[in-house]
């Protein structure tokens, strides 16, 4: 920028006068969007907590002090077709850009700093660190690319991608905001790539925040130092001193918390529970509690000590995640050690405490941050504890298989008649890399883990969590394995619907063919499926009904006829299901098609289409866009509504 580093940028007058009320109305209406713009333009070097607070401060002090002739940077001039924002919003957005660019300037020794370069006085967050929710790999990659740009480059990218402004309008807004070379800023933005859709993700939403405590011990230490420096030194020595022989370096862990015998036992690598290799063969239980300890680093006490310390008190640099319904707190006692070893470019430790599986990972080389993942696993049985995700890299996933797994392979669900590919495992039960469908952007294949344990051959799929979800087939009362030709054909057209339950703590997904229907006008035969995703926590269940008409493409996804959350339908408590769709025959005639489960004895439609059918199948002529209400009755006269 060519403006002086020690001067505030003055608003640029435009033709349309803006008053405080007009600007305030625009700020209140578009507050979340304006804060997102400020957060994206501010330099990542500020840190996520300060970026969030500064973004809110920048927006909150963007109102004019009085009625002004034009409202400053970014206010529209005489009507441009690409400018679709109102003057009040344009004024506030321009002020936000101007202050965010100022805040990103480095402080100079001989220059007077601007107000935007100081840490904000308001808003204040005492006793907490706040930051947006973590996104996926794509959001992380975009954040890294944006961090390499200048403030003007980030502003150009945000105006183009989030605000949908043409390049001519971007140049004008940047120039009014004080950017000396808007063309250079646009050229920088071109190097990022068209990843604009990610700008609206939770990763860059400073209004939907997660909260974590700050460095609690340092805060207490400072408070006592204000009273008496000598007492503060003594307290810090007592709190930060090492107990007994000492725990050693905590790595990425935060300062230690108040200790007691139970917490000391939980942090002692020597007290970890280690299961012998043959225990599972004679145990009455067959779950994670009888997994033997495995890995080539199980004797690395320093690694285990760091992992336990980070679990107990993760520091600011630790990237932590937990599946829904999983408490991310410290261990409740000495946990069980499942695995410790090197996986790709990381050292990985897996623990189990009876309720959760916890994964700790740190880079083998470099100073990257540690990763801590929590997944709930209470109530696991032999089928649900067949494997855990031990590593992810380059779009692939590695599994640690249970000791009772005899064979392992990879099967593409979209190829129902294909044979599974053998999957090699090392001496510790860690598989070779498998392409992860949870991280794929397109559903061109869906590779699942096929494990044989001597009792059955089961399918497990990665949904982005520590525990892969089990896939089953059959009626809710007694679902079985995906082993028959019909089951594989139905799952081939269901697999691409699984992303809708990704990241929800899913334990198992069962698909059930509850009806088969002959289509009118010789359209062939269609099947109706009910797919139910159960979670580890019991709540958060998702149900969807599918209509799978004949298709020229074997792996074409079925049509979702209805879906619901927290519904008992298609489960063992309420296996009744009823769904309907509008379907167009080859001759152009439209039909209302409906089907119910085995307990349905008659069907009726009302509203835009009136029809009745004895039995659990219905086909009635209708017109495009018709809306009908579907009801069914059981043999005892109970009325059943359609899934919704």
For residue 14, name the pLDDT band (cuts at 50, 70, 90): very low
Which residues contact residue 72 at a Cβ distance below 8 angstroms, ignoring those fewer than 6 apart? 11, 12, 18, 64, 91, 94, 95, 98, 176
Predicted pLDDT of residue 126: 73
* 594 and 614 Cβ atoms separated by less than 8 Å: no
pTM exceeds cut of 0.95: no
Q: Is the pLDDT of residue 218 over 80?
A: no
Strand 371-376 relative to strand 319-322, pairing? parallel
Beta partners for 18?
68
Whole-angstrom CA distances from 269 to 248, 274, 379, 501 are: 11, 11, 26, 37
Give the residue among 385, 287, 324, 380 at the shortest CA–CA distance from 542.
324
What's the whole-number mean pLDDT along residues 147-155? 91
Secondary structure in 3-state letters for 472-514:
EECCCCCCECCCCHHHHHHHHCCHHHHHHHCCCCEEEEEEEEE
pLDDT in tens, 262-313: 777 788 999 999 999 999 999 999 999 999 999 999 999 999 999 999 999 8
The helix/strand/coil state of 143 is helix
Measured distance between the N- and C-terminal CA atoms of the chain, rounded to whole angstroms: 56
Long-range pairs, 348-352, Cβ under 8 A, ≥24:
348/295, 348/390, 348/391, 349/297, 349/303, 349/304, 349/307, 350/388, 350/390, 350/400, 351/272, 351/307, 351/311, 352/288, 352/289, 352/291, 352/377
For residue 221, name the pLDDT band (cuts at 50, 70, 90): low
* 492 and 482 Cβ atoms separated by less than 8 Å: no
Whole-angstrom CA distances from 109 to 5, 6, 101, 114 are: 11, 10, 19, 13
* 561 and 642 Cβ atoms separated by less than 8 Å: no
- Other C-beta atoms lying within 10 Å of the C-beta of residue 18: 25
Q: How far is CA 482 from the centre of its chain?
A: 28
How many CA atoms within 13 Å lie on the side-chain side of 96? 31
Predicted pLDDT of residue 240: 47
Identify the residue with better confidence: 61 or 386. Answer: 386
Which residues contact residue 241 at a Cβ distance below 8 angstroms, ignoring those fewer than 6 apart? none
Phi-psi sector, 134: left (phi>0), alpha (psi -120 to 50), beta: beta
For residue 249, name the pLDDT band (cuts at 50, 70, 90): low
169 burial type by CB count under 10 A (0-12 exposed, 13-18 middle, 19+ buried)? buried
Identify the residue with better confidence: 243 or 429. Answer: 429
Identify the residue with better confidence: 626 or 130. Answer: 626
Beta partners for 517?
526
Which residues contact residue 149 at a Cβ distance below 8 angstroms, ignoring those fewer than 6 apart? 157, 188, 189, 192
Query: Residue 389 and residue 462: Cα distance in Å, rounded?
Result: 8
Predicted pLDDT of residue 366: 73
Query: Residue 376 and residue 470: Cα distance in Å, rounded?
Result: 15
What's the whole-number mean pLDDT along residues 436-442? 85
The helix/strand/coil state of 556 is coil
Predicted pLDDT of residue 13: 35
Predicted pLDDT of residue 242: 42
The H or E element that residue 27 is part of is helix 20-29
The structure tokens listed for 552 are 């020229």
* 443 and 436 Cβ atoms separated by less than 8 Å: no
Beta partners for 275?
none
């Amino acid at each position: 920028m060519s403006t002086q580093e020690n001067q505030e940028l003055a608003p640029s007058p435009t033709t349309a006068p803006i008053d405080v009320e007009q600007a305030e109305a625009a700020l209140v209406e578009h507050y979340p969007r304006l804060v997102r713009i400020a957060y994206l333009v501010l330099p990542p070097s500020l840190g996520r907590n300060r970026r969030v607070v500064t973004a809110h401060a920048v927006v909150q002090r963007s109102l004019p002090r009085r009625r002004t002739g034009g409202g400053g940077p970014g206010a529209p001039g005489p009507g441009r077709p690409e400018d679709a924002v109102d003057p009040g919003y344009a004024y506030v957005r321009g002020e936000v850009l101007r202050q965010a660019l100022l805040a990103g300037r480095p402080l100079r020794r001989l220059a007077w700093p601007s107000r935007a370069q100081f840490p904000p006085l308001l808003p204040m967050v005492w006793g907490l660190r706040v930051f947006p929710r973590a996104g996926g790999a794509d959001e992380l990659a975009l954040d890294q690319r944006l961090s390499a740009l200048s403030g003007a480059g980030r502003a150009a990218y945000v105006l183009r991608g989030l605000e949908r402004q043409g390049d001519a309008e971007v140049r004008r807004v940047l120039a009014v905001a004080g950017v000396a070379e808007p063309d250079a800023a646009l050229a920088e933005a071109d190097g990022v790539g068209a990843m604009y859709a990610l700008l609206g993700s939770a990763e860059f939403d400073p209004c939907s925040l997660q909260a974590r405590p700050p460095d609690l011990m340092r805060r207490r230490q400072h408070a006592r130092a204000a009273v008496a420096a000598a007492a503060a030194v003594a307290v810090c020595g007592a709190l930060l001193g090492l107990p007994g022989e000492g725990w050693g370096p905590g790595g990425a862990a935060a300062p230690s918390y108040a200790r007691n015998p139970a917490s000391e036992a939980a942090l002692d690598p020597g007290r970890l529970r280690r299961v012998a290799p043959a225990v599972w063969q004679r145990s009455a239980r067959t779950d994670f509690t009888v997994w033997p300890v495995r890995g080539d680093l199980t004797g690395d006490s320093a690694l285990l000590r760091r992992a336990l310390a980070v679990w107990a008190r993760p520091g600011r640099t630790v990237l932590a995640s937990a599946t829904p319904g999983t408490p991310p707190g410290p261990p409740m006692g000495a946990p069980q050690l499942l695995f410790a070893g090197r996986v790709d470019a990381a050292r990985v430790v897996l623990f189990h405490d009876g309720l959760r599986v916890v994964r700790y990972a740190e880079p083998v080389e470099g100073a990257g941050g540690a990763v801590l993942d929590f997944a709930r696993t209470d109530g696991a049985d032999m089928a649900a504890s067949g494997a855990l995700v031990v590593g992810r890299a380059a779009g692939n996933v590695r599994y640690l298989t249970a000791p009772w797994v005899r064979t392992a392979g990879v099967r593409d669900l979209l190829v129902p008649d294909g044979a599974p590919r053998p999957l090699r495992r090392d001496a510790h039960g860690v598989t070779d890399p498998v392409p992860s469908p949870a991280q794929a952007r397109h559903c061109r294949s869906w590779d699942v883990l096929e494990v044989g344990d001597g009792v059955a051959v089961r399918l497990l799929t990665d949904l982005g969590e520590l525990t892969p979800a089990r896939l089953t087939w059959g009626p809710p009362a007694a679902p079985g394995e995906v082993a028959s030709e019909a089951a594989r054909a139905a799952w081939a057209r269901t697999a691409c619907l699984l992303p809708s339950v990704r990241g929800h703590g899913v334990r198992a997904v069962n698909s059930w063919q509850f009806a088969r229907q002959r289509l009118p006008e010789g359209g062939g035969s269609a099947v109706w499926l009910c797919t139910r995703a159960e979670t580890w926590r019991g709540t958060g269940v998702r149900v969807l009904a599918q209509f799978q008409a004949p298709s020229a493409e074997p792996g074409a996804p079925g049509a979702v006829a209805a879906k619901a959350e927290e519904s008992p339908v298609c489960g063992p408590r309420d296996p009744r299901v009823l769904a309907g769709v509008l379907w167009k025959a080859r001759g152009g005639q439209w039909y209302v098609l409906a089907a119910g489960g085995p307990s349905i004895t008659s069907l009726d439609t009302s509203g835009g289409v009136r029809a009745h059918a004895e039995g659990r199948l219905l086909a009635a002529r209708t017109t495009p866009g018709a809306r009908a209400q579907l009801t069914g009755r059981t043999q005892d006269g109970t009325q059943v509504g359609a899934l919704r």
